[in-house]
């Protein structure tokens, strides 16, 4: 009998004579029974579908741990783009000039980067560059403003009518259509008007109407009157006075047959409209009709 | 022999699934016969196929089969082999019920004896015997799984059957 004949027998590899010999052996019946019963044995149930699903789930969990970085990377990319955009726009907006405008009947205090102060009268606008402020104190002005300049480098107020340059002082600049007035309250102000430079010591005013310099007396107070809610005029043509009234009270002014070039000296209130109308009309010997937000000045016919 | 297409990549879901379906039950039984522990067998299947997936780029479909057996085998390399094995088989009752009660009782007694002797066999003999008889694996396949020669499997088979006969006849 060959080696491992039992294994060979199970595999049908025994020769006929070997098989005959084996079948004749006493153990053959036992072997046959053992094999027959063994063949009915079954391994425990194995749910291969369930096991595959479990592995796939585990795999996804595993994979997702690796993949997780991608949406994060994407997020970082987006965040970087957004940050760049924001930074860009921040610098762009920063490089734009600051622009401050007041409406009718409004005045506003603005503190500049070096703590200089600007009080902006009604319907006025200033613009300056906050970024370049340290190197160049330069302000563009339309309308009227009072400046309290901190000591430092040259401080320039540029207007259409002229440029005012100072080192550290308090002064008022009024720049309205054709009307340009600078009043110095402290220190020394240099006014460049029509290419001519005028040094303006404290307590002096510079006035030009339609490009013509007009000598005027200095201020009586150490701050412009409008800062105390009054408008003060000394020998100023009536039309500028009426313009100022319109700005301060937000009332539309109309005139009928009035000489608006006549000079006016006086003060009107910026808060009390009735009082202001009287302050203007009585010295000028004109009449007014006040309705709603409109006022009409007309000649007193009895005269 | 191989049910998978060799041109495909194991990383492909379909290929992986077909490899799993073709081999997972045998891996399960293989480990179960060795240790008589269903839980270990389940873990081995998981471990083997998760490893296969992780290394799907490196393992060709042709090598996948031997790969999972190697992983499953290595997993319990250090497990104490002396652990007492108590195999349970799913189908214990006879299908045919028109036999006499005496016959059924005798059969059941014989099965119990067989179970006991199987549990007492050396692990490699038991595994080889059951893979052949229950799973219908050829000696060659078992040799591949176990990483030994066909002759060694024949020897195990022979010894297993011999021991079973001797011990059952003794009882």
pLDDT tens across B36-72, in order?
888 888 888 888 888 888 888 888 888 888 888 888 8
With beta carbons less than 8 A apart as the criterion, state whether B153 and B139 touch. Answer: yes
DSSP code, position B10: T
- In 3-state terms, chain B is what percent helix, strand and coil (to 5)? 65, 0, 35
CB atoms within 10 A of CB B116: 14
Are B68 and B126 members of one domain?
A: no
Please report where in the chains the tokens 């004749």 appear, as a residue: A24
Domain membership flag for residue B55: yes
**Residue contact B50–A7, C-beta within 8 A:** no
Are B161 and B123 members of one domain?
A: yes
Are B53 and B114 members of one domain?
A: no
Q: Which of A162, A161, A171 is nearest to A203 (CA)?
A: A171
Q: Which of B154, B112, B118, B121 is nearest to B134 (CA)?
A: B118
The CB-based long-range contact list for B135-140 (8 Å cut-off, 24+ gap) reads B135/A43, B135/B25, B135/B26, B135/B29, B137/B26, B139/A7, B139/A11
Chains A–B, number of C-beta pairs less than 8 Å apart: 112
**Residue contact B157–A6, C-beta within 8 A:** yes
Q: How far apart are CA A144 and CA A173, in angstroms?
A: 6
With beta carbons less than 8 A apart as the criterion, state whether B24 and A46 touch. Answer: yes
Domain membership flag for residue B68: yes
For chain A, list residues whose CB is within 8 angstroms of any CB belonging to chain B: 3-8, 10-11, 27, 30-31, 33-35, 37-46, 48, 51-52, 54-55, 58-59, 62
**Residue contact B169–A30, C-beta within 8 A:** yes
Sheet holding A286-291, edge to edge: A252-256, A294-299, A286-291
Least trusted range by pLDDT, from A46-55, A91-100, B107-116, B137-146: A91-100
Range B97-117 average pLDDT = 80
Ramachandran category for residue B42: left, alpha or beta (phi over 0 → left; psi -120 to 50 → alpha): alpha
Note the pLDDT of residue B97.
Answer: 61
Domain boundary among B58, B75, B92: B75
Domain membership flag for residue B127: yes
Report in angstroms the alpha-carbon separations of A126 from A97, A114, A208, B14. 10, 16, 21, 74
Supply A36's token pair: 């027959």
Q: How far apart are CA A16 and CA A168, in angstroms?
A: 128
Domain membership flag for residue B4: no
pLDDT (tens, 9 = 90+) of chain A, 303 residues, equals 677 888 888 888 888 888 888 888 888 888 888 888 888 888 888 888 888 888 888 767 665 555 555 666 777 888 888 999 998 888 777 677 788 888 887 888 888 888 888 888 888 888 888 877 888 888 888 888 888 887 777 888 888 888 888 766 778 888 888 788 888 888 788 888 888 888 888 888 888 888 787 777 767 677 778 877 888 888 888 888 888 888 888 888 888 888 888 888 888 888 888 888 888 888 888 888 888 888 888 887 654
Are B117 and B162 members of one domain?
A: yes
DSSP string across chain A: --TTHHHHHHTT-S-HHHHHHHHHSTTHHHHHHHHHHHTT--PPP--HHHHHHHHHHHHHHHHHHHHTHHHHHHHHHHHHHHHHHHHHHHHHHHHSPEEEE--TT--EEEE-TTS-EEEE-SS-EEEE-SSSTTT-EEEEEEEEEEEEPPSSS-EEEE-SSEEEEESS-EEEEEEETTEEEEEEEESEEEEEETTEEEEEETTEEEEEETTEEE--PPPSSSS-GGGGTEEEEEEEEHHHHHHHHHHHHT-EEEEES--TTSEEEEEEESS-HHHHHHHHHHHHTEEEEEETTEEEEEE-TT-
Q: How far apart are CA B114 and CA B168, in angstroms?
A: 7
Are B110 and B71 members of one domain?
A: no
Note the pLDDT of residue B89.
Answer: 65
Residues of B in contact with A40 (CB under 8 A): 91, 94
Note the pLDDT of residue B5.
Answer: 45
Highest mean pLDDT: which range of A180-184, A227-231, B87-91, B149-153? B149-153
DSSP code, position B135: S
Domain membership flag for residue B138: yes
Are B165 and B105 members of one domain?
A: yes
Are B164 and B105 members of one domain?
A: yes
Q: How far is B133 from chain A (nearest CA, A)?
A: 5
Range of the domain at B51: 13-75
Domain membership flag for residue B89: no
Picking from A4, A6, A39, the nearest residue to B133 by CB comes out as A39
Which residue has better confidence, B153 or A105? B153
Note the pLDDT of residue B108.
Answer: 81
Note the pLDDT of residue B83.
Answer: 56
* Candidates B22, B117, B158, B160, partner chain A, best to mutate (most A CBs within 10 A): B158
Note the pLDDT of residue A169.
Answer: 73
Domain membership flag for residue B48: yes
This model of the complex carries an ipTM of 0.77
Domain membership flag for residue B37: yes
Residues of A in contact with B11 (CB under 8 A): none
Q: Which residues contact A271 (CB under 8 A, 6 or more apart)?
A: A229
* pTM, two decimal places: 0.46
pLDDT bracket for residue B76 (50, 70, 90): confident
Specify the CATH number for the domain of residue B125. Answer: 1.10.10.10
* Candidates B133, B149, B169, partner chain A, best to mutate (most A CBs within 10 A): B133
Q: How confident is the prediction for chain B on average, in pLDDT?
A: 81
With beta carbons less than 8 A apart as the criterion, state whether B30 and B145 touch. Answer: yes
**Residue contact A38–B24, C-beta within 8 A:** no
Are B112 and B165 members of one domain?
A: yes
Helix or strand run (H / E) with residue B122: none
Note the pLDDT of residue B1.
Answer: 43
Are B121 and B60 members of one domain?
A: no
Which residue has better confidence, A10 or B93? A10
Q: How far apart are CA B45 and CA A51, in angstroms?
A: 8
With beta carbons less than 8 A apart as the criterion, state whether A219 and A233 touch. Answer: no
Note the pLDDT of residue B139.
Answer: 92
The number of domains in chain B is 2
Q: How far apart are CA B145 and CA B73, in angstroms?
A: 9
């Amino acid at each position: 009998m060959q080696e491992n004949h039992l294994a060979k027998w199970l595999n049908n590899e025994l020769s006929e004579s070997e098989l005959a010999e084996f079948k004749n052996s006493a153990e053959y019946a036992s072997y046959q029974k053992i094999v027959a019963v063994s063949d009915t044995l079954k391994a425990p149930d194995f749910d291969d579908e369930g096991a595959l699903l479990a592995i796939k789930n585990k795999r996804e969990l595993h994979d997702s741990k690796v993949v997780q970085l991608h949406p994060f990377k994407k997020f970082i990319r987006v965040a970087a783009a957004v940050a760049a955009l924001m930074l860009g726009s921040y610098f762009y907006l920063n490089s734009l000039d600051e622009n401050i405008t007041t409406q009718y009947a409004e005045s506003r205090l603005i503190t500049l980067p070096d703590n200089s102060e600007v009080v902006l009268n009604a319907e006025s606008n200033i613009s300056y560059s906050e970024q370049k402020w340290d190197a160049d104190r330069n302000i563009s002005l339309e309308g009227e403003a009072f400046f309290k300049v901190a000591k430092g480098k040259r401080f320039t107020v540029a207007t259409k009518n002229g440029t005012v340059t100072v080192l550290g002082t308090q002064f008022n600049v009024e720049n309205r259509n054709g009307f340009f007035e600078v009043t110095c309250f402290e220190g020394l102000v240099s006014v460049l008007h029509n290419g001519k430079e005028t040094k303006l010591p404290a307590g002096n005013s510079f006035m030009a109407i339609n490009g013509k310099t007009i000598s005027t007396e200095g201020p009586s107070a150490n701050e412009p009157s409008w800062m105390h809610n009054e408008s003060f005029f000394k020998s100023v043509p009536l039309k500028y006075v009426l313009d100022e009234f319109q700005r301060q009270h937000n009332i539309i002014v109309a005139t009928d047959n009035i000489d608006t070039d006549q000079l006016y000296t006086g003060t009107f209130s910026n808060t009390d409209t009735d009082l202001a109308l009287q302050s203007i009309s009585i010295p000028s010997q004109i009449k007014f009709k006040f309705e709603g937000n409109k006022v009409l000045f007309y000649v007193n016919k009895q005269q | 022999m191989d049910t998978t297409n060799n041109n495909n990549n194991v990383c492909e879901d379909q290929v992986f699934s077909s490899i799993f379906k073709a081999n997972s039950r045998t891996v399960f039984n293989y480990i179960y016969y060795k240790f008589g522990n269903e839980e270990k067998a389940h873990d081995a299947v998981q471990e083997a196929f998760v490893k296969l997936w992780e290394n799907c780029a490196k393992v060709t479909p042709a090598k996948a089969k031997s790969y999972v057996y190697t992983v499953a085998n290595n997993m319990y390399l250090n497990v104490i082999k002396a652990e007492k094995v108590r195999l349970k088989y799913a189908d214990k009752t006879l299908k045919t019920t028109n036999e006499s009660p005496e016959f059924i009782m005798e059969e059941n007694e014989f099965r119990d004896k067989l179970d006991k002797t199987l549990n007492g066999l050396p692990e490699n003999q038991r595994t080889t015997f059951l893979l052949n008889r229950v799973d219908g694996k050829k000696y060659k396949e078992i040799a591949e799984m176990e990483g030994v020669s066909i002759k060694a499997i024949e020897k195990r088979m022979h010894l297993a059957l011999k021991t079973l006969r001797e011990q059952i006849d003794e009882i």
